[in-house]
Structure 1
Amino acid sequence: MARLVLCFLFFVAVAQGRHEKYEGHQLYQISGPAQEIAALEAHIDIISAKPTRSEIAQLQALVRLSPEEKLQWLQYFDEKQMSYTKVADNLAELLRKEDVQIQATRASASAKRSGRTIGWETYYRHQEINDHLDELAAQYPNLVTVINAALSYEGRQIKYVRISTTRFEDMRKPVIVIDAAIHAREWVTPPVALYIIHQLVVKIVDEALTDSLDWVIIPVANPDGYEYSFDEDRLWRKTRSKSHEGADECPGVDGNRNFDHYWGTVANSANPCTIVYEGPTPFSEPETRVIRDVVNQNLNRAAMYISLHSYGNMFLYAWGNNATLPSNGLALHLAGVTMATAIDALALDKANRYIVGNAAQVLYFTTGTSRDWTRAVGVPLTYTMELPGYEYMFEVPPEYIEQIVTETWAGVAAGAHYVRSVYG
């Protein structure tokens, strides 16, 4: 018992130091025209954005302001007539509370799992997730294959699973591709990916979803950034590469701006010190090349692609670089509504209902996204899916993981049945 207490106190001490960089940083909810919000990405940390429920082309965004920049930006918001409300007075304190909560849930989860390496009570590290994938492949060799796809910039193994009753040899079966955690700080996304795998492989709630479809699921697409967000900087979003000019001061690339679709057309994304830095070239990152290669290898059969993000309760489809729709815009909307309806049926009363729409119209213009690139190369149904955050925003407490993975699975399953009916 004494040893457990000492370990807990050591963890708290580490957490105290790890979050010092955010001491006194405040979070503000701001509202304003979509393009005004988009322009801020080059200057401050926009943690999330979502459309307002009452005004067209108006967004709400959660932004972080340091004590040094607070006065300047609040004055700017006043000048632009952008309303703002402070929602957190000291970000460091929020992060310390989150650390203590996660440590407690990990201890409790370990006692409950009875030999299983992964549950739905807490968050897990990259190596734990990789070990779990290997265990599934060993236990279910006729259904699961683990692919060691590549090493990340810092040398971590990027793994994904192929789920198939026919070892990916039946060329008539449509393929669904799902990735998670391309943005490192979005911790709630890997549990969703892992739960989808669990429902397809372990619980097997619907055999038709594997008899008629093949799946590729990448639970942690950005392992370097993901681990860095645990160990050093909870708000880290990008990869950790240092292959670009200015990398010593500003390492990393936004993985969801690094795809070759209108890449290099937005000046703000060319600055390595912004959170939306697109990288020195398209697919400069080994992490995004894994997603590219998976899609290209299955392009003849790939029918749906979903990139899991957090937060905002949205299904966003192409195009993001302009407010026009792909030729199959109606099908994109219909499939998105099908998934959103299934999720909303299981959602908590306090949760926002899912919004389905064109990314540029719902939010603002973006370039180099995986959603747009996959649609451009020929995958019919491609989405950025923003999971719930409730009142906790990006820091979803572990107690909500099971709710989010359960409702999201219902949506994904509904989308998979749509794929079966249209492309099967």
Structure 2
Amino acid sequence: MTRLVVCVLILAVSLAQGRHEKYEGHQLFRVAITSEELGKLEAHLDILSATPATRSASGKIEALVRLSPAEKQQWLPYFNQRNMAYTKIIDNLADILRDEEAKVQRARSAASRSSRFSFEVYHRHQEINDYLDSLAKRYPNLVTVINAALSFEGRQIKYVRISTSRFENLRKPVIIIDAAAHAREWVTPPVALYIINQLVVDIVDSNLLEYIDWIIIPVVNPDGYEYSFDEDRMWRKTRSKAHPGSDECPGVDVNRNFDHHWGTRPDSANPCAIVFEGPRPFSEAETRVVRDAVLQHVDRTALYISIHSYGNMFLYAWGNNGTLPDNGLILNLVGVHMAEAIDKLALDKAKRYVVGNAAHVLAKTSGTSRDWTRAVGIPLTYTLELPGYEYGFLVPPEYVWQIVTETWAGIAAGANYVLYNW
């Protein structure tokens, strides 16, 4: 190994250690709570995930909560006073993050020796944009790259239109998929990119390409995504600083910034909360990219899926109050159809997918893309929560191929439903 390579590796390790120092002594706890308590805690704490009550022995939602040493002093007594059972599962989050960093670096190093774009690593935002541009050059009759907008920090938010008729055949249904609305959910862009590959490069089902138009946004939130690589692995929001309190607490939760019952949840009003809804609906350039892509083709868009991590769930409207849209039965039917296709390919240790109304399965939310897209007229809209296994959203690269391939099976099942029922 050359001296230069050694120096680069040492530098990378030292940067990773420094990046994760802020989480020294932070611990993760599973806390049994009600859906109402979940909403309240999100205003104050970092809730990494929530397990549906149907999977819980206690009959309550099990929230995965990160507590700093100072937060432990405040919140463990709070849990005790309210008989909220909790169990510590991670003693030092910084150690877990350093381990993940090493695995990610090894996977990227191995992939760099191949000339083929890898779907088994976590690519940076510019690499993803470059890949989209390369596809447009290789397949100009199928792929059009849209330079949709600049993020708050000036990064280009790109998405692709995939069509055999350049979106000019208005009788064809449209499917819209986005990923990485939440910065730390690294496993979501590989799924979006693999869907593009299956439609354009490998063309595993020509009917899905010939008779459906596709819009796929691999990285909705590039500022937050890059920040989670370079500065804070646990970052979730955008990096905007255009709201009161943004000097101390920058960023907005993209998935609370849509104009559907926006401003009706007190837990989303705090700028320092991980679910901060922003100063107004569509305040974020990132949210407006999704909005504009949807509204441009809303009359013929049949299916919208926002890919998130983690929890093995297909969630549908209405998340703000738990009532069902007029096509609630069909939403459940198609969700189950997609879930079953994924479960057939899932690892033995993976949890089976849960399909249901978001408010019933987890908790009430406002301003989500899933509910807004349903409200503006798209019949089938879902939040898809990918598997995390025992790793949460810190999924090691060796599991990425499993996740992208099984998820494609679910997407294809949903697309085939659209194809034959639109």
TM-score normalised by structure 1 residue count: 0.98
Structure 1 CA distance for aligned equivalents of residues 109 and 320 of structure 2: 45
Q: Which residue of 2 aligns with 1:93?
A: 95
Q: Which residue of 2 aligns with 1:82?
A: 84
Q: Which residue of 2 aligns with 1:31?
A: 32
Q: Structure 1 stretch 9-18 or stretch 264-273: which is displaced more?
A: 264-273
Return the letter of the residue paired with 2:316.
Y
Contact preservation (8 Å) 1:34, 1:57: no
Return the letter of the residue paired with 1:336.
G
Structure 1 CA distance for aligned equivalents of residues 352 and 34 of structure 2: 22
The offset of 1:375, in angstroms, is: 0.1
The offset of 1:30, in angstroms, is: 1.1
Q: Which residue of 1 aligns with 2:70?
A: 68
Q: Which residue of 1 aligns with 2:385?
A: 386
Q: Which residue of 2 aligns with 1:268?
A: 267
Return the letter of the residue paired with 2:354.
I
Structure 2 CA distance for aligned equivalents of residues 219 and 54 of structure 1: 33
Q: Which residue of 2 aligns with 1:21?
A: 22
Structure 2 CA distance for aligned equivalents of residues 80 and 304 of structure 1: 42
The offset of 1:78, in angstroms, is: 1.3
The offset of 1:82, in angstroms, is: 1.3
Contact preservation (8 Å) 1:57, 1:361: no
Contact preservation (8 Å) 1:33, 1:57: no
Structure 1 CA distance for aligned equivalents of residues 65 and 72 of structure 2: 11
Return the letter of the residue paired with 2:318.
W
Identity of aligned residues (%): 70
Contact preservation (8 Å) 2:39, 2:267: no
Contact preservation (8 Å) 2:120, 2:190: no
Return the letter of the residue paired with 1:390.
Y
Give SS of 2:61's match. strand
Contact preservation (8 Å) 1:57, 1:362: no
Q: Which residue of 1 aligns with 2:414?
A: 415
Instruction: Say which of 97, 104, 107 aligns to 1:105.
Output: 107
Q: Which residue of 1 aligns with 2:190?
A: 191
Return the letter of the residue paired with 2:383.
T
Structure 1 CA distance for aligned equivalents of residues 309 and 232 of structure 2: 17
Structure 2 CA distance for aligned equivalents of residues 317 and 57 of structure 1: 21
Q: Does 1:139 align with 2:138?
A: yes
Structure 2 CA distance for aligned equivalents of residues 271 and 39 of structure 1: 11
Q: Which residue of 2 aligns with 1:370?
A: 369
Residues 124 and 141 of structure 1, relative CA distance in 2, 3 Å threshold: same
TM-score normalised by structure 2 residue count: 0.98
After superposition, the C-alpha distances for 1:308-365 in whole angstroms (9 at most, x for unaligned) are 0000000000000011100000110011000000000000000000000000000000
Where do 4+ consecutive residues of structure 1 move more than 6 Å? none
Q: Which residue of 2 aligns with 1:119?
A: 118
Structure 2 CA distance for aligned equivalents of residues 31 and 54 of structure 1: 9
Give SS of 1:300's match. helix
Q: Which residue of 1 aligns with 2:403?
A: 404
Q: Which residue of 2 aligns with 1:163?
A: 162
Q: Which residue of 2 aligns with 1:48?
A: 49
Return the letter of the residue paired with 2:121.
T
Q: Which residue of 1 aligns with 2:339?
A: 340
The offset of 1:83, in angstroms, is: 1.3
Alignment of 1:142-153 (within 5 A): 142-153=141-152
Structure 1 CA distance for aligned equivalents of residues 166 and 122 of structure 2: 30
The offset of 1:5, in angstroms, is: 2.2
Q: Structure 1 stretch 135-144 or stretch 64-73: which is displaced more?
A: 64-73
The offset of 1:71, in angstroms, is: 2.4
Structure 2 CA distance for aligned equivalents of residues 102 and 229 of structure 1: 13
Q: Which residue of 2 aligns with 1:251?
A: 250
Residues 87 and 54 of structure 1, relative CA distance in 2, 3 Å threshold: closer
The offset of 1:55, in angstroms, is: 5.8
CA RMSD of aligned residues (A): 1.0
Q: Structure 1 stretch 29-38 or stretch 130-139: which is displaced more?
A: 29-38
Return the letter of the residue paired with 2:124.
R
The offset of 1:36, in angstroms, is: 1.2
After superposition, the C-alpha distances for 1:195-252 in whole angstroms (9 at most, x for unaligned) are 0000000000000001110000000000000000000000000000001011101100
Alignment of 1:1-20 (within 5 A): 1-2=1-2, 3-20=4-21
Structure 1 unaligned regions, length at least 5 = none
Give SS of 1:19's match. helix
Structure 2 CA distance for aligned equivalents of residues 37 and 274 of structure 1: 13
Structure 2 CA distance for aligned equivalents of residues 83 and 34 of structure 1: 15
Structure 1 CA distance for aligned equivalents of residues 160 and 184 of structure 2: 22
Contact preservation (8 Å) 2:253, 2:278: yes
Give SS of 1:192's match. helix
Structure 2 unaligned regions, length at least 5 = none
The offset of 1:57, in angstroms, is: 6.3
Aligned length: 420
